[in-house]
Amino acid sequence: MPLVSIVTAVYNAARWLPETLASVKAQSFNDWEHLLIDDGSTDGSIAIVAAAMATDPRIRLLRTPQNSGPSAARNLGIESARGRFVAFLDADDLWLPDKLLRSVAWMTEHGYSFIYHDYRQISPYGERVGALIKPPDKLDLRTLHTRRGVGCLTVVIDREQIPVFRFPPPSPYVSEDFCLWAEILRAGHIGHRLPADLARYRLSPQSRSANKLRCAIDAWHLYRNFSKLPLAHAALWWTQYTVNALALHLNARPR
């Protein structure tokens, strides 16, 4: 069995997939399987994954019955994963070569169940933009609600310590990863930062997170309806979140 299972939701990502697949294949740590879950693509995504499977048996293609969104696709990958460690990589993002090696070594050394690391953003054309994004050193519920910076492409989860976890079902919110991290933290786990730049997040005008006003509104509804924070509590944490989000957005601008 592979030690690491990489879960990638795919929807009309033919433009990016070859580079994303190459960043996984270039890993200095080789004991992995890559589960790519097609969520109803109508471009050439499936053909690209099929060609990659023909040359590397560690790559597996799964398909959702219909287009259901990233939560459903990732959950299908989690259910099918065979590795102890589960890592997430969206179909347009990239990992640096030592991502898995350093993550697994650090988690094993410290006994951490849930980690994430630093990363940088790139333009749709692959140009690096903005400053290094450094998430909080430790992640608890308060920090989750007041800080930005824990990118899904940086997270690794140890299933020996967190055997069951799922992204939430489709909802009107764009922050399905926030909901999963919150459930993990509510169960008593703490997230830990690996202080290393190991990934590249691709900025796209079409991404669901590109609309910052919508993200801020969604965060408010999540605090009140999902986390069920009292009004004053939600207002304080939401204000801290929006200030931090604005700073991150400004740092992401081209220099």
HEC profile for 204-249? CCCCCCCCHHHHHHHHHHHHHHHCCCCHHHHHHHHHHHHHHHHHHH
Return the bridge partners of 37, or none.
9, 62
Strand bridging mode 32-38 / 59-63: parallel
Q: For residues 211 and 224, give the distance between their C-alpha atoms in angstroms, rounded to a whole number.
A: 20
- Residue range 141-159, pLDDT digits in tens: 999 998 888 999 999 999 9
Query: 36-55 b/e with 16+ CB inside 10 Å = b?
Result: bbbbbbeeebbebbeebeee
- Residue range 11-20, pLDDT digits in tens: 999 999 999 9
* Of 7, 17, 12, nearest in space to 73 by CA: 7
Which segments of the chain have a pLDDT < 50?
A: none
The number of angstroms, rounded, from the C-alpha of 67 to the middle of its chain's C-alpha atoms is: 19
Q: For residues 66 and 11, give the distance between their C-alpha atoms in angstroms, rounded to a whole number.
A: 11
pLDDT number for residue 147: 84
**CB atoms < 10 A from the CB of 61, how many?**
16
pLDDT number for residue 133: 94
Q: For residues 171 and 32, give the distance between their C-alpha atoms in angstroms, rounded to a whole number.
A: 31
Angle at 210 between CA 206 and CA 213, to 5 degrees: 135
C-alpha radius of gyration, the chain, whole number: 17
DSSP state of 20: H
Quick one: fold of 4-251?
A: Spore Coat Polysaccharide Biosynthesis Protein SpsA; Chain A (3.90.550)
pLDDT number for residue 206: 55
- Residue range 163-208, pLDDT digits in tens: 999 998 866 666 889 999 999 999 999 999 999 999 999 997 555 5
Residue 229 CB contacts under 8 Å (≥ 6 apart), including other chains: 145, 223, 237
pLDDT number for residue 215: 74
pLDDT number for residue 249: 60
